[in-house]
């Protein structure tokens, strides 16, 4: 089940919210857990057992680590056991096919018989719930959160359906209090509805429209320079609107249930360095990699060379986390290399002025990286790069022009105009969040004042949301891009 589906919008979500608000406070976490398991089982019932098994394993490991004491040798042994088992589960389901295929390629090149392995199906969302489980037992070991004895709350944290499939990557220590005490107000519910609708519009109206352009350009066997750059720019926008749209919907659903999740995107395409980009893109993952991988590797405590090495390895492993393909590894290495270079140059990664040259260079690096991230294999990536940087023919091929519609061109232009407007607005506000507005305010004399601007904005969002539902009903199924990770 996905958020952008009629089953979720008109069946699952209304029934769940109705039961949620009709039930008492003490039963809501249990109801959330059951609903989340149903949401996951809608995809495949058999993998629900694996999901529940991982949850029980990390709950038990957390108790053992907590009982052993903060940072003790005994706790360290329990932590190591928990992390190794978690990574073995992730490694088998996510990387077994890749490992065997790579080994077979080497063996066949030497004339040896390849291994035969039944294709291993990747459980949806496994990367996210494994990472969240690992962060929990590490936090217990570090003393950042006590080991919980409430299995329902812990299981609900791991399984909570708004973020289950594609993030944000949450941490138990940030949500533990909200599981015990969270507020349910009309303002928070209204904010959640608006945020959900905004994400839905991003996904259905923009990302799904651009997906057709990107898919077609990447599938061309002999793309021109114009074709290649069009595909790269279309995918750059598609990925942002698709993934940030999912994050908006997840955050909005959380608000409807009284939770406040961390923000996952902060206008990343306005960045003036790769370091700044990773403070704005997929924030929950980048902070997870920093806190649990980069720091564990030694961070910047081992000298200059060790710092560069740790930055590079962190991003290399971050690329591998995205999938079992050499394209992801190279993409991670690309970003790791530039992070190390920027650190070595002492680049200002928190600029107070907008420098168009720095922005353009950073955006170019990001777009170049997205090409290999999107490519199915190294051959496709090489074909795209060759066309992009040959500068031979900026005209679109006849095949591309025949398939390109005015709606797709308009959507691409609107997408980048939107990114430019909100990105520059965010920058010139110095990234300070605007004060939360309420459509109704009480004046000093006790009278009510209506914010018609806010009402108009919400009315426009509602109108576009309805139009998006109509578009969704007319188009074929289009899953979120990050479901594959």
Q: Cβ distance 238 to 211 under 8 Å? A: yes
Q: Report CA torsion sign: 354, 360, 366, 367.
A: positive
Question: Helix, strand, or coil here: 442?
Answer: strand
* Distance (Å, whole) CA 319 – CA 369: 11
* Distance (Å, whole) CA 446 – CA 444: 5
- C-beta pairs of 374-381 under 8 Å, 24+ apart in sequence: 374/214, 374/218, 374/235, 374/239, 375/218, 375/327, 376/218, 376/327, 377/325, 377/326, 377/327, 378/326, 378/327, 378/330, 380/218, 381/327
Largest separation between any pair of C-alpha atoms in the chain: 88
Q: Identify the active-site residue in 163, 216, 282, 322.
A: 322
Question: Helix, strand, or coil here: 484?
Answer: helix
Q: Which two tokens stand for residue 165?
A: 């499939």
Q: Is 322 a catalytic residue?
A: yes
Residues paired with 440 in a beta bridge: 450
Buried b (16+ CB within 10 A) or exposed e, 67-78: ebeeeeeebeeb
**Residues classed as catalytic:** 322
């Amino acid at each position: 089940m996905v958020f952008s589906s009629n089953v979720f919008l008109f069946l699952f979500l209304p029934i769940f919210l109705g039961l949620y608000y009709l039930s008492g406070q003490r039963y809501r976490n249990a109801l959330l857990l059951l609903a989340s398991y149903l949401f996951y089982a809608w995809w495949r019932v058999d993998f629900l057992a694996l999901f529940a098994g991982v949850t029980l394993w990390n709950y038990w490991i957390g108790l053992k680590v907590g009982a052993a004491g903060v940072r003790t040798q005994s706790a360290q042994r329990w932590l190591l056991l928990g992390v190794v088992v978690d990574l073995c589960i992730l490694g088998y389901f996510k990387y077994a096919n890749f490992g065997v295929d790579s080994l077979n390629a080497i063996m066949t090149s030497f004339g040896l018989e390849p291994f035969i392995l039944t294709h291993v199906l990747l459980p949806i969302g496994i990367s996210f719930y494994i990472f969240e489980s690992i962060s929990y037992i590490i936090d217990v070991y570090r003393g950042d959160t006590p080991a919980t004895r409430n299995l329902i709350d812990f299981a609900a944290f791991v399984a909570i359906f708004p973020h289950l499939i594609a993030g944000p990557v949450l941490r138990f220590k940030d949500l533990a209090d909200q599981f015990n005490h969270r507020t349910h107000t009309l303002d928070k519910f209204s904010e959640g509805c608006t945020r959900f609708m905004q994400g839905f519009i991003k996904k259905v109206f923009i990302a799904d429209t651009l997906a057709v352009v990107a898919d077609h350009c990447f599938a061309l066997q002999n793309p021109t320079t114009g074709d290649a750059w069009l595909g790269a720019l279309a995918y750059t926008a598609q990925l942002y609107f698709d993934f940030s749209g999912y994050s908006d919907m997840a955050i909005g659903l959380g608000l409807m249930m009284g939770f406040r999740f961390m923000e996952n995107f902060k206008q990343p395409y306005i960045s003036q360095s790769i370091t700044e980009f990773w403070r704005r893109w997929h924030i929950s993952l980048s902070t997870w990699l920093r806190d649990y991988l980069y720091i564990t590797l030694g961070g910047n405590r081992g000298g200059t060379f060790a710092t560069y090495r740790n930055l590079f390895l962190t991003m290399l492993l971050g690329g591998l986390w995205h999938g079992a393909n050499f394209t992801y590894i190279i993409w991670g290495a690309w970003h790791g290399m530039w992070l190390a270079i920027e650190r070595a140059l002492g680049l200002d990664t928190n600029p107070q002025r907008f420098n168009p040259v720095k922005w353009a260079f950073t955006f170019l690096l990001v777009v170049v990286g997205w090409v290999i991230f999107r490519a199915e294999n190294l051959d496709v990536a090489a074909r795209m790069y060759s066309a992009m940087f040959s500068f031979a023919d900026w005209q679109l091929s006849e095949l591309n022009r025949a398939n390109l519609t005015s709606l797709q061109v308009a959507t691409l232009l609107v997408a980048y105009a939107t990114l430019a407007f909100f990105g520059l607005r965010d920058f010139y506000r110095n990234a300070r969040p605007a004060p939360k507005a309420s459509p109704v305010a009480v004046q000093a004399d006790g009278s009510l004042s209506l914010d018609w601007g806010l009402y108009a904005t919400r009315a426009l969002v509602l109108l576009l949301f309805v139009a998006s539902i109509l578009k969704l009903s007319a188009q074929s199924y289009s899953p979120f891009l990050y479901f594959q990770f």
